[in-house]
Chain A
Amino acid sequence: MASLPGPERATSLSGRNTGDRVYRGALTLLALTLPAALIAILGGLLWNAWPSVRTFGLEFLFRSTWDPVAEVYGAAPMILGTVISSLLALLIAVPLALGVAIFLTEFSPGWLRKPVASLVELLAAIPSVVYGLWGVFVLIPLLRSHVVPPLRAALGWLPFFEGVFYGNSMLAAGIILSIMILPYISSVSREVLLAVPPAQREAALALGATRWEAVWSAVLPYGHLGIIGAVVLGLGRALGETMAVTMLIGNRHEISASLLQPGYTMAAAIANEFAEATTQLHLAALFEIGLVLFGVTVTVNAAARLLVWRVARGSAVGSRAL
């Protein structure tokens, strides 16, 4: 080291890396574009919804009248319909998705793992409108002939299964939503379970736990926050889903306890009515629905991320998947 040829070396240590500065500036600008777009969307929604917000105030959220002729708007049926259809979807999808994730990580023979995982994830690639079409022409007839009659025979005394079943209903929408969100929940849960250290499984098995007990007592508790994150992510997708739900839910501005009756969701209302909204107040009411939907989905997604981030502080369980 001591005898480096001296004269060839640069004599000055000053100078700037102009390329780096330009590069950094350009990237910073690009990175800021996306948050700016988010703020622009929020601003646009607020601006356009303002007439409705000012006219109806908080009552907008609790009223169930939707009368474009009298210019009285209330979004309660849509808000409730969005929540109920999404919760119904979770009720069906979560056990299935967890079952798939647990099977694939803990019990599946190696050769079956990849094909099943890819097929489940392929469910997410089917366009929403195709789900809707399938729902109308396959799912609803199936429900009408094979599911609803036994359901009513067994549980017809419950308010949830009252009334005549015409086909388009909360039940149909909930089922189609459950199929649509299943791949998200199962693939994130699978990532979470894969990230649970093998030592945890082995520790349980070495104690004389069966495979199932090891999953139940060691693996699932270790990844539980990540799995909750996966479920909330699925919920976020269900809340905002539009096309398939619009085709199946029946689009009726009414609150009914029965899952066999038609309902409405916020997303479906916007999709159905924006072209017919001729008055400023009608349009503003639709924008306000959009604002509520935006708020709900952003909150749900933020909650999911927060949960997964809390898990990821120590180890990386589930953080890669989000």
Chain B
Amino acid sequence: MAAERPIRLRTEFLSAYFNGNTAVRHVTLGFPVNSVTAIIGPSGCGKSTYLRCLNRMHELSEGAAISGRVLLDEHDIYAPEVNPVELRRRVGMVFQRPTPFPTMSIFDNVAAGLRVNGGQKRRDVAALVERALQRAGLWDEVQDRLQKSALALSGGQQQRLCVARAIAPEPEVLLLDEPTASLDPAGTVRIEDLVQDLSQEFTVVIVTHNLQQAARVSEYTAFFYLGELIEYGLTEEMFTNPNDPRTDAYITGRFG
């Protein structure tokens, strides 16, 4: 199992439901500080739903419910006094497809998270936007056209813009839901490099159906199947010597 490291975020017997149907069942799993954990599994295994429970996006879907606990720095994020809006500022998310705001400029897109919910003082914003774009590896490409529409960027650039937007408010955890699913190989490589850089400062959880990607970017891997956590461990160990026969079958490509 994983080495002794402080855990930033963990779930205890987390189950998630849609209209009474169980999508995720009793998942107990922890994410160490400043690490990358990949969640892998075939389509419909509940990995995206699990991810969406970690920043309380799941509950926005109609008929959604959860049971169990999710603890951020040992505080239950589903406790009644927790405001999901505040929580989402500490747990950022990037989606499968790039979702830039089409009417906003590149600058305003990155600043969007800084301006909502009270927001920052105007003069901080420019510095924070630049820092976020630099950390997302996009600054050099966009610094002379910050006021242009975000739609003028390529798909891969748009996705890095979304990463910049997600990290601008300085979250502690970054959730990536198949961030390269809609990108070409070159865009995918950029995002994968970025994910590894980001783990220096953030606790990253990445859902992917691409096993090579999981092997390349993650330190830990969790394998989900039919809504359950089948196996969790160091990525290297899991890919070379899986414990569960189902993990073995999946990573060797016999199903999925």
Is B103 located at the chain interface by the 8 A CB criterion?
yes
A202-B95, A203-B162 known; A209 vs B116 contact (CB < 8 Å): yes
Is A218 located at the chain interface by the 8 A CB criterion?
yes
Is B85 located at the chain interface by the 8 A CB criterion?
yes
Cβ–Cβ < 8 Å partners of A224 in chain B: 103
Question: Which of A110, A197, A208 sits near B85, CB closer than 8 Å?
Answer: A208
A207 near B101: Cβ-Cβ < 8 Å: no
A206 near B88: Cβ-Cβ < 8 Å: yes
Q: Which residue of chain B lies nearest to A211 when distances are taken between CB atoms in the complex?
A: B85
Interface string of A190-206 (1 = CB under 8 A from B): 00000001011011111
B101 near A203: Cβ-Cβ < 8 Å: yes
Cα of A210 to Cα of B89 in the assembled complex, Å: 11
B116 near A199: Cβ-Cβ < 8 Å: no
B95 near A217: Cβ-Cβ < 8 Å: no
Chain A stretch 165-212: residues in CB contact (< 8 A) with chain B: 197, 199-200, 202-210
Is B128 located at the chain interface by the 8 A CB criterion?
no
Cα of A199 to Cα of B93 in the assembled complex, Å: 12
Cα of A209 to Cα of B117 in the assembled complex, Å: 6
Q: Which residue of chain B lies nearest to A201 when distances are taken between CB atoms in the complex?
A: B60
A205-B60, A207-B92 known; A217 vs B99 contact (CB < 8 Å): no
Cβ–Cβ < 8 Å partners of B99 in chain A: 197, 199-200, 202-203
Is B40 located at the chain interface by the 8 A CB criterion?
no
B94 to chain A, nearest CB (A): 8
B169 near A207: Cβ-Cβ < 8 Å: yes
A52 to chain B, nearest CB (A): 47
B113 near A208: Cβ-Cβ < 8 Å: yes
Cα of A36 to Cα of B55 in the assembled complex, Å: 59
B85 near A221: Cβ-Cβ < 8 Å: no
A208 near B89: Cβ-Cβ < 8 Å: yes
Q: Which residue of chain A lies nearest to B94 when distances are taken between CB atoms in the complex?
A: A206
Q: Which of A110, A205, A206 has the most CB of B within 10 A?
A: A206
Is B62 located at the chain interface by the 8 A CB criterion?
yes
Cβ–Cβ < 8 Å partners of A209 in chain B: 85, 112-113, 116-117
A208 near B117: Cβ-Cβ < 8 Å: yes
Is A71 located at the chain interface by the 8 A CB criterion?
no
Q: Which residue of chain B lies nearest to A110 when distances are taken between CB atoms in the complex?
A: B62
Q: Which residue of chain B lies nearest to A223 when distances are taken between CB atoms in the complex?
A: B103
Is B29 located at the chain interface by the 8 A CB criterion?
no
A205-B57, A208-B113 known; A222 vs B103 contact (CB < 8 Å): yes
Q: Which residue of chain B lies nearest to A213 when distances are taken between CB atoms in the complex?
A: B116
Chain B stretch 172-204: residues in CB contact (< 8 A) with chain A: none
Cβ–Cβ < 8 Å partners of A222 in chain B: 101-103
A210 near B62: Cβ-Cβ < 8 Å: no
Is B104 located at the chain interface by the 8 A CB criterion?
yes
Q: Which residue of chain B lies nearest to A200 when distances are taken between CB atoms in the complex?
A: B99
Cβ–Cβ < 8 Å partners of A213 in chain B: 116-117
Q: Which residue of chain A lies nearest to B89 when distances are taken between CB atoms in the complex?
A: A208
Is B166 located at the chain interface by the 8 A CB criterion?
yes
Is B86 located at the chain interface by the 8 A CB criterion?
yes
Cα of A266 to Cα of B6 in the assembled complex, Å: 76
Is B246 located at the chain interface by the 8 A CB criterion?
no
Cα of A221 to Cα of B103 in the assembled complex, Å: 6
A217 near B57: Cβ-Cβ < 8 Å: no
Cα of A202 to Cα of B58 in the assembled complex, Å: 10
Cα of A16 to Cα of B172 in the assembled complex, Å: 72
Cβ–Cβ < 8 Å partners of A206 in chain B: 55, 57, 88, 92-93, 95, 166
A229 to chain B, nearest CB (A): 16
Known A199-B95, A202-B57, A218-B101; further 9 A-B contacts with Cβ < 8 A = A202-B99, A207-B112, A208-B85, A208-B113, A208-B169, A209-B113, A210-B116, A213-B116, A222-B102
Q: Could you list which residues of chain B lie within 8 angstroms of chain A, going by C-beta atoms? A: 55, 57, 60, 62, 85-86, 88-89, 92-93, 95, 97, 99, 101-104, 112-113, 115-117, 162, 165-166, 169
Q: Would you list 12 pairs from A and B whose C-beta atoms are within 8 A, ordered by A residue?
A: A199-B99, A200-B101, A203-B95, A203-B99, A207-B113, A208-B85, A210-B117, A217-B101, A217-B116, A221-B101, A222-B101, A222-B102
Q: Could you list which residues of chain A lie within 8 angstroms of chain B, going by C-beta atoms? A: 110, 197, 199-200, 202-210, 213, 217-218, 221-222, 224
